[in-house]
Each structure stands twice: as C-alpha cells, then as structure tokens.
Amino acid sequence: MNHKSRLEKISDVQWHLEPTGKMRVPVVVYADGELLREMDDKALEQAVNVAGLPGIVKASFCMPDAHWGYGFPIGGVAAFDPSQGGVVSAGGVGFDISCGVRTLLTGLTERDVRPRLEELADGLFRAVPAGVGSTGKINLDDRRMKDMLEGGARWAVEQGWGDPADLRRTEEGGCIEGADPGAVSVRARERQRREMGTLGAGNHYLELQLVEQVFDGEIARGFGLEKGQLVVSMHCGSRGLGHQIGTDYLKEMLRAAPAHGIDLPDKELACVPIQSKVGKAYLGAMRAGINCALANRQILTCLVRGVFQQVFGPDAGNNGPWPAMLYDVSHNTCKVERHQVQGRLRELHVHRKGGTRAFGPGHPELPGEVRPFGQPVLIGGSMGTCSYILAGTTASEDEAFSSACHGAGRVMSRNQAKKQWKGRDVMEKLARQGILIRAAGFKGIAEEAPQAYKDVTRVVETAHRAGLARLVARLVPIACVKG
C-alpha cells in the first residue's frame, strides 16, 4: 500500500496518516517536503505497523531523520501504557542499546588547537580503541561485570574513571534504576568483558568540532558554548552486550507473542506485554544495557581527558574535570516517564529508537545549571558534515512525548555506499577540507561517506520548525576518529 499518498499535510513540517485497518492510533511524520520525498516507503510501513500494537498511546511518530530499521523505523517514537495492555519491543529499542552522544567543553579555540591537531588526533586514535571487535585494557570478571551493569557511569566514576560532577550532566544521573544483570545472557556478558572503553565501528565516532555558529546566545551561554570554541563529541553505545541482548530477546518475544494473543504484522516487530514475564526480563536486561553504554562513554571521557592533558598540559583547564561535560544523551531506549495525555498524567513506556529525549525548560529531571534552558539535545551529523546542539522545548511534550531526532539518518545502505565510494578517496577529500580522519580501516570510511546520509541541516531545521527542539549552535569537524 502506498501510505505516502494517504498522508494529510498539517503544516510544512508535519503530516498525519489517520488510522485504518489494524491501526489503533495515527502516524505522525515530521518532515519537510524534501525529507518526505527521501523517506523510504518501508519506514512509513513500519510506522503503520507500530500504530497497531496493543496499548499504544496518542500516535506512532517518525522524527525528521526517520528511515527503515528493524521492526520499528529508526527515528521512530512510540509510548505504551502498561495498564492498557501496552507492549515492549526489542525492535523498538534497537540492537545498540543506549547508543548516544556525549559532548565535552574544552574552552580552546582553533588557534590553540590547529598547531597541535595532528598530535591530538594521533593521541586520541592511540588511546581510544576503535573498530569491529575492538578491545580495551579493562577486563571485567563476573563481580565487576555485575557491578557495572547495575551502576553504569556511577560505577565507572567509583572505579576512578572520571569525576562525580560528570554524573550531573548525564541522563539518569549516569545510572538507570531497575537494571537486572541476571536477565543478561552469559553470551552477552562474555562479549563485553574486554569491550569497555572502546568506540566500536559503523557510525560511531570521536570528533573534534568547532562551534561555527550560535543561533541562540542566551541558551548557548547557559550551556557553556561560545563561537569558535572547540568541543569533543563521542557517539557510541553498549557494544557487543547491547547487540546480544537485542538478539536474545527478539527470539524470546517472537516465541512468546502468540501466547498473549499478539498478531504480528512483521516478525521483526516481536513484542510482549510490559507486565509479562518476558517483558519484565527484557526491561531489566535493557536497563543493564543502558548502564553499560553510560559506563562506556564515561570511561572514554577519561581516556580523552588524558590525551588533552598530555598534549596541552595538566593545568590547561579550569578547576574541576577538563574537558568538562556539556551533556550525555541516549538514543535507543525504552524509559518509564510521566506524560500528559488528554489532560491526564499517565505513566508510559516511551520507546525512542534513534530518538533523543528533549525535556523542556524547568523539567525537574534536568540539572539545575541547564534547567532554565531545556535539555541539551546533541545531534550528530555524518562524517565530515556539521553537527548541532539544540535545546528541548515545552512544546515537545505536547508534540511527541518530549522527543526529537538523533542524527542525519541514512539514505543509502552501507553496502551501497561501499560500492559507490572508496574509503581512501573519502578520507583524502575530507583532508583537503581541513578534516583529519583517523580510522581502523578504509571500509568503514566508505560506509560512512557523508553522501550516504540525509542533509543534517534540513533535519534539525525541521525539528526546530516543528517545535521538537530549539536550535542553539552548529558545530563543524576538524578531526574524527572512526572505527
């Protein structure tokens, strides 16, 4: 069925697909005309399938970066009410549980950095293990593995990886409650024993970026951002552990769904009731995966700080940890949150697959320093293109359960990209633009060529115009470490 032809235009950046057939709620798509034309039909079909799941509330949402994924579209957001038979879906979270972005503030300028950029890029590449199957120096025994899965970034700080001040600028204070290491398979834990403090591969990166433009001076100052300043952004997740949790529970959900009377339009959309035995086990394992990702980014932060202090000297920063934390946001999660629906506050399980939480100004879960401005929303671009920092809005609560986009969104598969570009050519072209690339191999560079992604500027401008988040600053890369 051609779902695009049935979309009703609500505004220049919002489209609705009213329920038909097995749909329980509408589909809401945030996109301008160009993004809508680029959106693959499969992503919209998946959003329609999500709209038919038990207990779904309000709508099945597609963010401006939405594209085809596993079960749910990537860039899909959906909330479910457990009191109404709501479900949880491993495909609605994704395989890289809590893949996210963390941004650090250096206070340095391009003039400070350019003379030592090669040294800095080489140092980061040596210090941060990257690539498929990369391993670090940390080897977790069973006890430490359990503590890490329960404690997240808090555990990492207790082990000496960073500072307690970092936790204030991390979602959930660095540790989500309700993690159940016992629900994580032996295979998942084995895959993670040597992968803490590693970047991984694919679209993961560690990037040095300059603040090229400020759109909202007041919020930028509140976030500690200035034009010309260097920031460090890292994009990575829960590595092998998260992938294995997703794999394990998709199989469990597929087996369990029929017993709960769930008729799946697509086996990739496997799900179970939130309050079922399998549902509770998955949520416990998924939260352990979130904590793993938070701990991983915390360890990486410490490795990055070591390189900066080696290159610029231990006293280069101000008092406190340096480079300092701006914020850490997670994608690929299912979180219990309270939201207003039809004038009533309801406790919902909000799936964000390739979506960023975007709480508005004054939200009680935000740290006091940024609370007046709204949550920092960190949007990574594709390799070699700009990234953005936005702020959550109060309007986003009404729009899409305080959710925004998470990145550029692919328009081309990795296999297609490898056929079209050679990694060495992409790397040399970026070098001519003043962007250094350090990577474990050329194949990953070809897969992540900038042209394989949507225009991130168009994506974030759509999110801004739709009220999902507010534009604050644009960042441009000068060096990037890739897996």
| Residues tagged active-site | 406
Burial of 226 (0-12, 13-18, 19+ CB in 10 A): middle
Residue 430's SS3 state is: helix
Cα gap 4→341, rounded to integer Å: 27
The token pair that represents 90 in the structure block: 């491993």
Tokens 């194949």: give the residue.
443
CB 448 within 8 A of CB 383: yes
Helices and strands in the chain, H and E counts? 15, 19
The token pair that represents 327 in the structure block: 């914020």
Cβ neighbour number for residue 41 with a 10 Å cutoff: 12
The token pair that represents 218 in the structure block: 């007041």
**Residues across the chain:** 483
How much is the CA Rg of the chain, to the nearest whole Å?
Answer: 21
Cα gap 331→235, rounded to integer Å: 10
Helix 277-312 vs helix 117-127: crossing angle, to nearest 10: 140
Strand stretches in 13-156, DSSP E: 14-17, 27-30, 56-67, 74-80, 87-89, 100-109
Cα gap 463→470, rounded to integer Å: 8
Cα gap 133→299, rounded to integer Å: 17
Cα gap 71→69, rounded to integer Å: 6
Distance, CA of 76 to chain centre? 12
CB 440 within 8 A of CB 482: yes
Cα gap 210→127, rounded to integer Å: 22
